[in-house]
Structure 1
Amino acid sequence: MLNQLLENTDTIIALATAPGKGAIAVLRVSGPEAITLTNNVFTGKDLTQQASHTIHFGTIRDEGEIIDEVLVSLFKGPNSYTGENVVEISCHGSGFIIQQLVKLFLKQGVRYAKAGEFTKRAFLNGKFDLAQAEAVADLIAADSEAAHQAAMNQMRGGFSRQIAELREKLIHFASMIELELDFSEEDVEFADRSALQTLINELSLIIEKLIASFEVGNVIKNGVPTVIAGKPNAGKSTLLNTLLNEEKAIVSDIPGTTRDFIEDELIIEGIGFRFIDTAGLRETEDRVEAIGVQRTYEKMKKASLIIYLFDINQTSEEELQEQITQLEKLEIPYIAVANKVDLFSEGALPEYLKNHPYILPISASSLNHMEPLKAKLLEIVNLDSFKTGNTIVTNVRHYESLVNTQTALSDVLSAIDEGVTGDFLALDIRNALHHLGEITGEITTDDLLANIFSKFCIGK
């Protein structure tokens, strides 16, 4: 912890924009000496005399030689992103210019920032809690409307407020029980056990809903792994190409063309679906194809959703029923899709389709047939709870802490039923408070913080 405190007195620098050539690049400097050290190399107004949240044009020079014309934005602590003095230097996006500017600051004793160090300082300086800090990384990584909305809600404190309310209610009872311990010789009871039991039941229901929301949250954050499976020549690669509207996979009438899986993502109404085209399912003596078939089964077992595609011209009702039975054994949501219906004249589809109304008839090569399939995909994912504005858990660390909290609350209920003494009851409540506190950062360790912020990009 001492090393961490010493590190936070440093002034740090990093590139805040993406690396590579561009019109503009932004260097971020944060720390107690950020404004003073920038002023040492800046020619223009005296930055130390300027107001916060102002922008100034000038040049940055190294021993009199101009490196670049820049715009310098000033943010004085504590009213800045990190809570410290922050300077953002907008320069031309040349790799050489960026390198020269960084070297110039390093010569003045500025340190290059570690991954996520700006956001870590913001957390340590109380600008937001740990759950909100993690949402910053999620917001940067968001590549769909739903992921963006979930990250924005968390960053603005929606999830944190709910956790804080839960902790506050528990803290009240914990303090009452702790007070009882001070008067243990007088056999008094400040905390009504029946009221505590009612509260724990209420909190358990809320946490149970939050835990259950993680399934949806994981879909929102990481996309839906969707395997396209079926026998050779069912049209799997054609379906992938049509969904993506590009020639992603090789299409051939030769069975076994796809030997390995091909993967790409498509956003459907704000939800990311990771479609995986796989090798055709069949017995084969071709060693390479057999490996591909084995990988298909492995992908199917790990998928969140399976599109099972079959050629309606080549599949009997008995064979289809056998395939459906095998699918159901996986216990993974699936959509049975009858392909190549375009080869039938209108009204001439096999009669057995009437016995299986859940089967979706399509022509994989037709864009017109993709809309019903997309609608079915969204129906199965079912994001009603997200659309109604309920809090959604998207972070696996938060999920684990909630599960641990639920276990601790269950221990509290058992302790009440068994009539245990106040000291053991207080221990179980403190355990629940500890796990809730891990989510927002009331309870942290250096290792936890290092693990969280190491996953951020440098410059954020």
Structure 2
Amino acid sequence: MPRHQDPIAAIATAPGRGAVGIVRVSGRGLQPLVLALCGKALRPREASYTGFLDGQGVAIDHGLALYFPAPHSFTGEDVLELQAHGGPVVLQLLLARCLEAAAQPQPDGQPTLAHLRLALPGEFSERAFLNDKIDLAQAEAIADLIDASTEAAARSASRSLAGAFSHEIHQLRDALIHLRMLVEATLDFPEEEIDFLRQSDAQGQLTQLQQRLAQVLAKTRQGALLREGIKVVIAGQPNAGKSSLLNALAGAELAIVTAVAGTTRDKVQQTIQIDGVPLHVIDTAGLRESDDEVEKIGIERAWHAIGEADAVLFLHDLTRLDTTEYRAADADITRAMAEKLPHTVTVIDVWNKLDSAPDKAPAHGIALSAKTGAGLDALRQQLLALAGWQPGAEGLFTARARHVQALQQVQGHLELCDQHLAQQAQALDVLAEELRLAQNALNSITGEFSADDLLGVIFSSFCIGK
């Protein structure tokens, strides 16, 4: 693609003020630009303290310059990094100077660095992928490491970036290729009396491959959970204690809590972590009939959030269970949830205010007190179990929903392979096709086989300068 031939430049640090800011340039033949910006040549992979010069040779700032000649750089191209003071104005001046210096003519009349332009989101990482410095799973791990919301997610992303997930995928692919080779050999030489598949224990190899795939898929689901977490919505009638429960789970006063019904008019969201798993908890407006226009909008948004949840905590007030009107309203909400919610959304009955009504908790659901904290641990463990988290899992790597889907496709193809292999010669051509499709699904994870539009979606989510 033509744009991948252009040199690119960007500010690689987050917007705002900081002690240090970085301007990064990547392309082919950066030495003339290095001379124009730093006034001297730089030794490869060695930090040099120098001035960063404007067009008149006056220093815009002083800092560290690092030059990484190709192919020994992050992108596989020549890379220049200017580490300056982290003021937004300083960094914008340096970036503008890079573009200006690149356009200036050399003695031969050619520009210092032709076609230098601002980088697109994720373009540095995209070039690292295209130049075989990292695979697609590792590239995604860069963004996951930056976006990690928990320590466990950060450590898992670091393992993926180091290649742990890719190693698992490559092992599966190698075993799959070997099995494909046996099937193709049998198809190519049907006149031979040697039964390649039986002699090579193709059935045993397929069984081992399926078992290994199941293990990798389980770890991948855990990795996806660490990255994405689950969305939990707290719902119920006004004054059931929804905001108090959110505050108790978060360990902070995030939502306003009063005795006035209808205090919460809009949803309040907070991401918390339980054993390193992120949970996006949303407090919603109390569900009831209302003539207040503002409250009606809040209730409508509450139902919308409930419909998009992975789990709903249906909060009941133990102190009002003896009230006929309250029980009828709870029954109406239960019916509405049954009608509106997809079957994939789990509803957990949570009985609040256990401190005020300790003898009224029903046998089902979870009884707790958002005020005292009693029962909160049981709720946390229930949420982890609902998410499918396996405590004590070691060596997890971060993963995404698309990785899980790809591995599930592989699993489906291998199940069909098992059926076709049992039919021997009658279905070997179909068996070979299923193995090929399984390998394509695996390759889509690491990017060895991937459509250009998939690459565009992945890298467009990156930040500028990465």
Normalised TM-score (structure 1) = 0.85
1:167: which partner in 2? 173
Give the one of 363, 368, 377 matched to 1:361. Answer: 368
The answer to whether the 8 Å contact 1:145/1:271 transfers is no
2:160: which partner in 1? 154
The answer to whether the 8 Å contact 1:335/1:360 transfers is no
1:411: which partner in 2? 416
* Unaligned runs of at least 5 residues, structure 2: 103-113
Give the one of 66, 69, 74 matched to 1:73. Answer: 66
Residue 258 of structure 1 aligns with an amino acid whose one-letter code is: T
Q: How does 1:41-56 map to 2 (within 5 A)?
A: 41-43=37-39, 45-47=40-42, 50=43, 52-56=44-48
The answer to whether the 8 Å contact 1:68/1:91 transfers is yes
* Unaligned runs of at least 5 residues, structure 1: none
Identity rate, percent: 37
User: Match of 1:384, SS?
Assistant: coil
Q: How does 1:282-297 map to 2 (within 5 A)?
A: 282-286=288-292, 288-297=294-303
405-414 or 416-425: bigger deviation: 416-425
Residue 122 of structure 2 aligns with an amino acid whose one-letter code is: G
Q: How far is 1:311 from its partner?
A: 2.0
- Alignment pair present for 1:440 and 2:440: no
The answer to whether the 8 Å contact 2:267/2:284 transfers is yes
User: Match of 1:138, SS?
Assistant: helix
- Alignment pair present for 1:87 and 2:70: no
Residue 67 of structure 1 aligns with an amino acid whose one-letter code is: I
2:460: which partner in 1? 454
Residue 34 of structure 1 aligns with an amino acid whose one-letter code is: L
Residue 41 of structure 2 aligns with an amino acid whose one-letter code is: D
Normalised TM-score (structure 2) = 0.84
Name the CA shift for 1:307/1:82 in 2 (closer, same or farther; >3 Å).
Answer: same
Q: How far is 1:114 from its partner?
A: 1.8
* Distance in 2, Cα, partners of 1:421 & 1:304: 41
Residue 104 of structure 1 aligns with an amino acid whose one-letter code is: R
Matched positions, count:
444
User: Match of 1:313, SS?
Assistant: helix
Q: Any idea what the Cα deviations from partners look like across 1:59-80, whole Å, max 9, x if unmatched?
A: 1212322221121023233322
1:14: which partner in 2? 10
User: Match of 2:321, SS?
Assistant: coil
The answer to whether the 8 Å contact 2:267/2:282 transfers is yes
Give the one of 23, 26, 29 matched to 2:22. Answer: 26
Q: How far is 1:193 from its partner?
A: 8.1
Residue 303 of structure 1 aligns with an amino acid whose one-letter code is: A
* Distance in 1, Cα, partners of 2:261 & 2:402: 44
Q: How far is 1:322 from its partner?
A: 5.5
User: Match of 2:320, SS?
Assistant: coil
* Distance in 2, Cα, partners of 1:300 & 1:202: 42
Residue 48 of structure 2 aligns with an amino acid whose one-letter code is: H
Q: How does 1:172-211 map to 2 (within 5 A)?
A: 172-186=178-192, 188-192=194-198, 195-211=201-217
* Distance in 2, Cα, partners of 1:131 & 1:138: 10
Q: How far is 1:186 from its partner?
A: 4.3
User: Match of 1:54, SS?
Assistant: coil
Q: How does 1:219-258 map to 2 (within 5 A)?
A: 219-258=225-264
Name the CA shift for 1:210/1:33 in 2 (closer, same or farther; >3 Å).
Answer: same
Q: How far is 1:194 from its partner?
A: 8.1
Q: Any idea what the Cα deviations from partners look like across 1:370-411, whole Å, max 9, x if unmatched?
A: 5565455445545326x3226566312212222222232233
The answer to whether the 8 Å contact 2:157/2:398 transfers is no
- Alignment pair present for 1:312 and 2:304: no
2:305: which partner in 1? 299
Q: How far is 1:333 from its partner?
A: 4.3
Taking only aligned residues, the RMSD between alpha carbons, in angstroms, comes to: 3.1
Name the CA shift for 1:194/1:286 in 2 (closer, same or farther; >3 Å).
Answer: farther
Residue 244 of structure 2 aligns with an amino acid whose one-letter code is: T
251-260 or 323-332: bigger deviation: 323-332
Q: How far is 1:294 from its partner?
A: 4.4
1:58: which partner in 2? 50
Residue 353 of structure 2 aligns with an amino acid whose one-letter code is: K
User: Match of 2:196, SS?
Assistant: coil
2:280: which partner in 1? 274
Q: How far is 1:442 from its partner?
A: 1.7
Q: Any idea what the Cα deviations from partners look like across 1:95-117, whole Å, max 9, x if unmatched?
A: 33222222222231322222212
Q: How far is 1:245 from its partner?
A: 4.4
Residue 240 of structure 2 aligns with an amino acid whose one-letter code is: A
Name the CA shift for 1:448/1:415 in 2 (closer, same or farther; >3 Å).
Answer: same
Q: How does 1:378-417 map to 2 (within 5 A)?
A: 378=384, 380-381=386-387, 383-384=389-390, 387-389=392-394, 391=396, 394-417=399-422
* Distance in 2, Cα, partners of 1:248 & 1:90: 38
* Distance in 2, Cα, partners of 1:397 & 1:27: 32
The answer to whether the 8 Å contact 1:210/1:392 transfers is no
* Distance in 2, Cα, partners of 1:10 & 1:282: 59
Residue 50 of structure 2 aligns with an amino acid whose one-letter code is: G
* Distance in 1, Cα, partners of 2:65 & 2:182: 54
Q: How far is 1:8 from its partner?
A: 3.9
